[in-house]
Amino acid sequence: MNITSNKTKRQPIQLSDHFDYPRLLRFTLPCIIMMIFNSIYSVVDGYFVSNYVGKTPFAAVNFIMPLITILGSVGFMFGAGGGALVARSLGEGKKERARRLFSLFVYVTAISGTIIAVLVFIFLEPILQMMGAEGQLLQDALLYGRILLPILPFYMLQFEFNSFLVTAEKPKLGLIVALIAGVLNMTLDALFMVVFKWGLAGAAVATGISQMIGGLIPLIYFLRPNSSLLQLGPTHFNGPALLRACTNGSSELMSNIALSLVSMLYNRQLLNYVGENGVAAYGVIMYVSFVFLAIFIGYSNGIAPVTGYHFGAGNHAELRSLLHKSLKLTAVLSMTMLILAQLFGGLFAKIFVGYDPELLALTVHAFRIYAFVYLFAGFATYSSSFFTALSDGLTSALIAFLRSLVFEISMVLILPIYLKVDGIWLSAVLADMFTVIVAFAFIIGKRKRYHY
């Protein structure tokens, strides 16, 4: 009996399964680790730039990355929005339709990525000037951006495949790709900046190569015959499906665009109130948050195809179970992250800016305030992803829109008037708190419509 039981436990998890807590964690864990590792190698990139190139180049990287993230998020939109449609088609038993839709979304992402990269490359300097960059900050941001933009199509595909690998029941492959890309990036960072002394250009080349690998490996996998539910092949233009994917994934696109726009606004406000030290401190907080919030994003991405599948199959009891379990897990993770942030905030800051006592003190103080965002961010992230998985892109987009483009922008503009720089650090906390209130109102209000 024990032998049989152990073999059963090693069986691959399928979207159609019933998910208790152990199965839920086993299925989403590769996606969580993948997102954490993606974040960690971004953090390592920032560490090398800050410690081996300098404070101004570090600020320049943090200044331009929101723009790069906005562009890459087009792939996230097709991955999340299109992934929900593909998962629903699989749940309805329409496997051939799922494969055609999957192929369409990937091809459109690659083409649009190429067009966007060319246009932004041409107009990058005036774009950065409009964002407020000047002097050496502008030159460093231009250098970094011009190296990364040619890789943009692969970066967008990397975002997209993060979702589709889970939908294809291959989350472990996504983890392996993330590990390969991450280890390569960290190794090349050390080689290019420490050994070869290439400076900021070395950081950009290392990041670009890792992004290319992150998009290329899954592309090759899906182009070949494979054991997953999906494979790239012939398709045809399907305008309504593309529109539904864009609408359904608009919340994920909006979340990333809004987050990037808010980051630009933070940088501008911090330049006004504190100067380059404020931008550098915010960069450190964002690097740490990338890792912490990656857990919420990874879980939400991992559970979304399961939710979409059971919604398409009409398994209402399983849908309700997934929601309740997810909310409980999010609550536990939220408290854990707040405690860790308060305990180790000083250590995190010292890793990046320990060489500058004034900047270190500013960063530690800021992070202690900002850390309370972890109480609410997980619920805000999951609720938006939950409605995307239900193909309710409008509700998902509304949550994302209110979260960043209404609540957070309002807070970052209003609070500094009364609380000075501390108001900037507190903005995200209050914005996510208001978002959670709205999100729970939607979850309660739509429970009869979706039978959860």
pLDDT per position as a tens digit, 117-131: 999 999 999 999 988
Residue 5 pLDDT exceeds 70: no
C-alpha distances in Å from residue 61, one per residue of 22, 50, 159, 376, 403: 40, 10, 20, 27, 25
What's the DSSP call for residue 224?
A: S
CA-based diameter of the chain, in Å? 71
Is residue 2 very low, low, confident or very high in pLDDT (cuts 50, 70, 90)? very low
Choice between 15 and 206, residue whose per-residue pLDDT is larger = 206
Average pLDDT of span 407-432: 93
Give the angle 89-93-98 at the CA atoms, nearest 5°: 35
Average pLDDT of span 392-417: 89
Residue 155 pLDDT exceeds 60: yes
The distance in angstroms from the start CA to the end CA of the chain is 36
**Residue where the block lists tokens 């909006």:** 254
pLDDT of residue 8: 44
d(CA 370, CA 294): 16
Is residue 251 very low, low, confident or very high in pLDDT (cuts 50, 70, 90)? low
Choice between 69 and 251, residue whose per-residue pLDDT is larger = 69
Average pLDDT of span 252-265: 73
d(CA 74, CA 212): 16
Least confidently predicted of 39-43, 94-98, 328-332: 39-43
The pair of structure tokens assigned to 320 is: 């309700």
Average pLDDT of span 21-45: 84
Angle between helices 250-273 and 239-248 (to 10 degrees): 40
Is residue 208 very low, low, confident or very high in pLDDT (cuts 50, 70, 90)? very high
Which of 104-113, 261-270, 285-294, 390-399 tops mean pLDDT? Answer: 104-113
Residue 143 pLDDT exceeds 70: yes
Handedness of CA 19, 21, 24, 27 (dihedral sign): negative
Residues 359-404 have pLDDT tens digits of 899 999 999 999 999 999 999 999 999 998 898 988 988 998 899 7
Q: Can you list the alpha helix ranges (DSSP code H) found in 171-235?
A: 171-189, 200-223
d(CA 337, CA 339): 5
Taking the whole predicted model, whether its pTM rises above 0.75 is answered as no
Q: How many CB atoms lie within 10 A of CB 393?
A: 23
**Residue where the block lists tokens 């979850």:** 443
Chain centre distance of CA 344: 23
The pair of structure tokens assigned to 361 is: 């003190």
What's the DSSP call for residue 371?
A: G
d(CA 98, CA 439): 30
Give the angle 376-308-449 at the CA atoms, nearest 5°: 80
Q: Return the percentage of the chain with pLDDT > 70, whole number.
A: 96
Average pLDDT of span 191-210: 94
3 state DSSP class of 2: helix
- Closest to 349 measured CA to CA, from 298, 406, 277, 405: 277
Check if the beta carbon of residue 148 is closer than 8 Å to that of residue 68: yes
Check if the beta carbon of residue 75 is closer than 8 Å to that of residue 109: yes
The H or E element spanning position 231 is: none
Least confidently predicted of 34-43, 299-308, 315-324, 352-361: 34-43
Residue 241 pLDDT exceeds 80: yes
Is residue 252 very low, low, confident or very high in pLDDT (cuts 50, 70, 90)? low
What's the DSSP call for residue 196?
A: S
b/e code 90-129 from CB counts within 10 Å (16+ = b): bbeeeeebbbbbbbbbbebbbebbeebbeebeeebeeebe
Number of residues assigned to the chain: 452
Residue 6 pLDDT exceeds 70: no
Average pLDDT of span 405-417: 92
Average pLDDT of span 125-154: 93
Q: How many CB atoms lie within 10 A of CB 74?
A: 24
The H or E element spanning position 372 is: none
DSSP annotation string for 9-20: HTSPP-TTS---
The pair of structure tokens assigned to 294 is: 């990656």
Residue 169 pLDDT exceeds 50: yes
Least confidently predicted of 43-52, 94-103, 362-371, 375-384: 43-52
